[in-house]
Every structure is written in structure tokens, then in C-alpha cells.
Amino acid sequence: MKKSMSLLLMSLLGLAGTCAWASSAREDTVDRMQKSVEVLQSIMSTPDKGIPEEVLSGAKCIIVVPDLIKGGFIIGGKHGRGVASCRTPEGWSAPAFVSVGGGSWGLQIGVEGVDLVMLVMNDRGLQHLLSSKFEMTGEGSVAAGPVGRHTSAGTDILLNTEVLTYSRSKGVFAGLTLEGAVIEQDNDSTRAIYGHHMMFRTILSGHATTPESAEAFVKAVSEAGHQAHVAEAREDRQ
């Protein structure tokens, strides 16, 4: 009898622990999405000092890793978690959750509260991202992105570079050198928001319904891309 009660108690404690972990993981992921919304809104509020309109309007996917220093991006243990969305024929996809680790980071390391923004610029980069494990190198796959309302960089960097990277510290955006980093699916956050595991490709290809908790993030991505596209078209007409 005592043994049975002990086993029952252990099972209940395990279940309670699992529920508490799931609740905490969900809260952390929802908070990460809200911070990502704030990063995107900041980009659009300072166009002269942010990501160029033609870069943002042409991006295939947007990945935001908010508070990467606070999230554990320290020398000797580089790691952060972020949120991604890709363009589909029906609009921007539901969010996929990413883990970013390793690599050689730029000069921002050591500055608290740095946000990371990555833009996937072409189909080759998109396919690498959809593979669920994308290791970025400096040989055409990743480069520090140009900054300003318009880019003075040649079209080669926009056409040939798979991912352009940016950092934000104290409201200022700058290109960030990011080589050797690996982007993978964040399975824990995926389960926390969707309730079960979903393949990276399924989500980013537009085959997943956006959860209510993620609607603000997808809206912010859509508005950023649309605003940049409209601004670029207006400039072309002038």
C-alpha cells in the first residue's frame, strides 16, 4: 500500500512539474514574440537609421532574436532564441521558433541588451533555413547588412548573400558580422506554442495556422514588409 501511494505521489509530482515547465516555456516564448514585435516596430520608426527599404521589402524571411545577450549570448557559450516568419503566396507564415548558437560574433558582444535581426534574402538561403539546420559562413551565405533608408551597397550583396545580419543596441541599428553560427529549430518553444511538435518546413512554408498568441508578431512582420515595399515604390515614382 505504501509503495503504491509513493508511486502515485511521484507520478503526481512529475505531472505537476511537467505542467509547470510547459506553462513557463509558453510564457517565455510569448514574451520573446512580444519583444520581437518591439524590435520590428523600432526598425520602422527610424527608417533613416534602420534597415534599407529595398532590403526589407525583398527579404524572403525575417528572424528576430531579442535580448540576445540577456538570453545567454556570452563568450564561451553563445546561444540565443528567436522567432522567424517567411513569405508565402498567402502572406507571411506562422512563426517558427529558432535556436541560434556558435559562430564568430561582431563587436557588440559584451553589450547588454543587443537584439539580432537576420534577413534571408534569396531562395538558396530560404532552402537552407527550411532544412532545420543552417550553418552560416562568410562565403556568400552571411554578411553584415547595410544601414539607412536606402542602401549604397551594390546589387551583388542583395542578390548573392543568403542572410544579412543586423544588431540593435540602445535603439541604434548596425550591420553585424555573424559567421559560423548555426540556426536550428527550437523544439521546446514549438511545443509550447503549438501544443505538439511541428516541422520547421511545415510552419515556414505556410502550412500552419497562426496561434492567437502569435498574431501580433505576424502582424508586425507583415506591416514592416508592407511599409518598406510601399516606401520603396513611392521613391521609385518620384
Successive 10-residue mean pLDDT values, the chain, 238 residues: 47 42 78 93 76 86 80 50 94 93 54 77 89 73 77 63 81 65 90 93 94 94 71 52
In this prediction, residue 83 carries a pLDDT of 96
Amino acid occupying residue 110: G
In this prediction, residue 227 carries a pLDDT of 63
H helices of the chain, in order, are: 2-45, 53-58, 123-130, 155-160, 187-194, 200-204, 215-237
- Exposed/middle/buried for residue 178 (C-beta within 10 Å: 0-12, 13-18, 19+): buried
Instruction: Confirm whether 24 is domain-assigned.
Output: no
- Exposed/middle/buried for residue 170 (C-beta within 10 Å: 0-12, 13-18, 19+): exposed
Instruction: Confirm whether 139 is domain-assigned.
Output: yes
Q: Which domain holds residue 64?
A: 31-237
94 vs 127: CA distance, rounded Å? 17
In this prediction, residue 176 carries a pLDDT of 66
Going by DSSP bridges, is the β-strand pair 61-65/91-92 parallel, antiparallel, or unpaired? unpaired
Instruction: Confirm whether 96 is domain-assigned.
Output: yes
In this prediction, residue 22 carries a pLDDT of 53
How far is CA 222 from each of CA 42, 49, 116, 157, 171, rounded to the nearest angstrom? 14, 20, 18, 24, 21
Cell numbers that stand for 198 in this block: 511541428
Instruction: Confirm whether 11 is domain-assigned.
Output: no
In this prediction, residue 89 carries a pLDDT of 92
In this prediction, residue 114 carries a pLDDT of 76
Instruction: Confirm whether 144 is domain-assigned.
Output: yes
Of all helices (H) and strands (E), which one includes residue 144? strand 142-144
218 and 85 in contact (C-beta within 8 Å)? yes
Report CA Rg, the chain. Answer: 19
Q: Give me the residues paired with residue 96 across strands.
A: 84
Cell numbers that stand for 125 in this block: 538561403
The residue behind cell 508578431 is: 217
Instruction: Confirm whether 82 is domain-assigned.
Output: yes
The number of distinct structural domains making up the chain is 1
117 and 166 in contact (C-beta within 8 Å)? yes
In this prediction, residue 186 carries a pLDDT of 93
Instruction: Confirm whether 17 is domain-assigned.
Output: no
130 vs 126: CA distance, rounded Å? 6
In this prediction, residue 84 carries a pLDDT of 96
How far is CA 232 from each of CA 64, 133, 191, 228, 237, rounded to the nearest angstrom? 22, 33, 38, 6, 9
Instruction: Confirm whether 20 is domain-assigned.
Output: no
